[in-house]
A and B are shown apart, each in its own frame.
Chain A
């Protein structure tokens, strides 16, 4: 079991560029989540999904989009990257309340 995997580990983007952060899980979990963590802050929920084809906004969705075409994958799309999106992004999955996290993607927008 690989658990939750995320790619890439690191990325530097220029302002206005776009990219997709990949997330996959092999635990057959229905629930998947995207968080961002800024320095000295807790994890803020960006988007979540309760199953394939169903997504919903979290606390900080602006500037992001998601899709969930399969149970395993939950990519996060950044359109028109801005410096405020510099952060560490974590993907997580769960079958209940306990969430399992990926190793994170460190994104810098300059």
Chain B
């Protein structure tokens, strides 16, 4: 039973345009959500996070939106750059400091 789902295996976007990556979850106990970015042959690196008490968190070109009623979050990258091409994982936690549950990832390709 996948508790965190990223239904789009891949996404292709033109440089300068917006990239929107989506994530759905089923466990209503999740209260903290993170996005990780992964380049080939490297470990995942933390990108941005959001607590369930917020509906938006912004960090430079990256914004995460959380819709608790729909159990859905999205990551917006504006403007997209070729260096953003990577695999993006959504992750969720039911307790601060506790284990993370990861989605399967979305491959983002930004074309120049």
Contacts and interface: CB of A to CB of B under 8 A. Distances in A.
Given A41-B104, A97-B34, A98-B49, A104 B43 contact: yes
Contacts, number: 54
Interface residues of A, number: 25
Interface in B56-88: none
Contact of B99 (A4, A33, A42, A100): A33
Interface string A70-84: 000000000000000
Q: Which of B49, B89, B98, B100 has the most chain A CB within a 10 Å cutoff?
A: B100
Nearest to B103: A42
Contacts of B27: none
A61 to B, nearest CB: 13
Chain B's interface: helix, strand, loop or mixed, by majority? loop
Contacts of A33: 99
Contacts of B21: none
Contacts of A102: 43
Nearest to A106: B41
Interface in B15-36: 32, 34, 36
